[in-house]
Amino acid sequence: MPLKTRQSSNIQGALLLLALVGGVVYLALREAPPSYEVAIPIANGTPTASQPSWQEVLQQQFVAGATALPQAALPTASYAPPTLEPTDPGLVFALEPTQLFGTVVPTNTPLPPPPSPTYIGPTPIPLATSSAVEVVNVAGGERRWQPPPLPLPISRDPRDHYWLARPVDSSAVNYGLFYYSYGSDGPEDAWRVHHGVDMPNPIGESVRAAGPGTVIWAADGFRVELPDGSIAETTYSYGNTVLIEHDFGYRGQPIYTLYAHLSAILVTRGQRVQTGDIIGLVGDTGVVTGSHVHFEVRVGRNSWYAVRNPLLWMVPYVGHGVIAGRIVGPDGELLDDQDISIIDRRTGRVVQTASSYVRVDINKDGLPDVVADDAWNENFVAGDIPEGQYQVVARIDGTRVARLVEVYEGTTTFVELAPPEQVTPQPASDGAGS
Ligand SMILES: [Zn+2]
C-beta of residue 268 within 8 angstroms of C-beta of residue 228: no
Within a domain: 398: yes
> What is the full per-residue pLDDT of the chain (434 aa) written as tens digits?
444 445 556 777 777 777 777 766 666 555 554 455 555 545 455 545 565 566 666 666 665 665 555 455 544 544 444 444 433 333 333 333 333 333 333 334 333 333 333 323 332 333 333 333 343 333 334 556 788 999 999 999 999 999 999 999 998 999 988 888 999 988 777 788 899 999 999 999 999 999 999 999 998 876 555 445 555 455 668 889 999 999 999 999 999 999 999 999 999 999 999 999 999 999 999 888 889 999 999 999 888 788 999 999 999 999 999 999 999 999 999 999 999 999 999 999 999 999 999 987 665 556 677 889 999 999 999 999 999 999 999 999 889 999 999 999 999 999 999 998 766 666 655 444 43
- Same domain? 276 vs 324: no
Q: What is the dihedral of CA 286, 287, 290, 294, to 10 degrees?
A: -70
Q: What is the C-alpha separation between 360 and 341, in angstroms, rounded?
A: 23
Q: Tell me: do 325 and 307 sit in the same domain.
A: no
The answer to whether the Cα torsion of 160, 164, 165, 167 is positive or negative is negative
CATH at residue 327: 2.60.40.10
Residues 114 and 164 in one domain: yes
Q: Which domain holds residue 368?
A: 320-417
What's the gap in Å between 372 CA and the centre of ligand 1?
Answer: 18
Q: Kindly state whether residues 301 and 340 are assigned to the same domain.
A: no
Q: What pLDDT is recorded for position 140?
A: 39
Distance 307 CA to ligand 1 centre (A): 12
Distance from the alpha carbon of residue 225 to the mean position of ligand 1, in angstroms: 22
Q: Pairing state of beta strands 320-327 and 412-417?
A: parallel
Measured CA to CA, the distance from residue 4 to residue 22 in angstroms comes to 27
The answer to whether residues 272 and 128 belong to one domain is: yes
Q: Please check whether residue 426 lies inside any domain of the structure.
A: no
Question: CA–CA separation, 383 vs 412, rounded Å?
Answer: 9
Q: Which residue, 356, 256, 240, 216, is CA-closest to 292?
A: 240
For residue 15, what pLDDT is reported?
Answer: 75
Domain CATH for 177? 2.70.70.10
CA of 115 to the centre of ligand 1 (A): 30
Helix (H, G, I), strand (E, B) or coil at 269: coil
Q: Into how many domains does the chain fold?
A: 2
For residue 195, give the nearest of 220, 223, 167, 176 by alpha carbon.
176
Question: Who's near 5: CB < 8 A, 6+ residues apart?
Answer: none
- Rounded Cα distance, 289 and 292, in Å: 9
| Spatial CB neighbours of 11, under 8 Å, sequence gap ≥ 6 | none
The b-or-e profile of 355-394 (16+ CB within 10 A means b, else e) is bbbbbeeeeeeeebbbbbbebbebbbbbbbbeebebbbbb
239 and 191, same domain (yes or no): yes
Cα(374)–Cα(308) distance, integer angstroms: 9
Q: Which H/E stretch holds residue 91?
A: helix 91-94
Does 70 map to a domain? no
β-pairing, 264-265 vs 278-281, is antiparallel
Asked whether residue 56 is domain-assigned, the answer is no
Given this model, what pLDDT does residue 293 score?
96
pTM of the model: 0.65
Q: Yes or no: say if 283 and 291 are a contact pair by the CB < 8 Å rule.
A: yes
Q: How many Å apart are CA 166 and CA 186, to the nearest integer?
A: 22
Tell how far the Cα of 257 is from the centroid of ligand 1, in angstroms. Answer: 13
Ligand 1 centre from 130 Cα, in Å? 14
Quote the ligand 1 centre to 122 CA distance (angstroms): 18
Sorted by sequence, the CB contacts under 8 Å of residue 365 that are 6+ apart come out as 305
Contacts (Cβ under 8 Å, ≥6 apart) of 131:
none
CA of 291 to the centre of ligand 1 (A): 11
CA of 137 to the centre of ligand 1 (A): 12
Q: How far does residue 121's CA lie from ligand 1's centre (Å)? A: 21
My answer on whether 212 and 154 are in the same domain is: yes
186 Cα–ligand 1 center, Å: 11
Kindly state whether residue 102 falls inside one of the protein's structural domains. yes
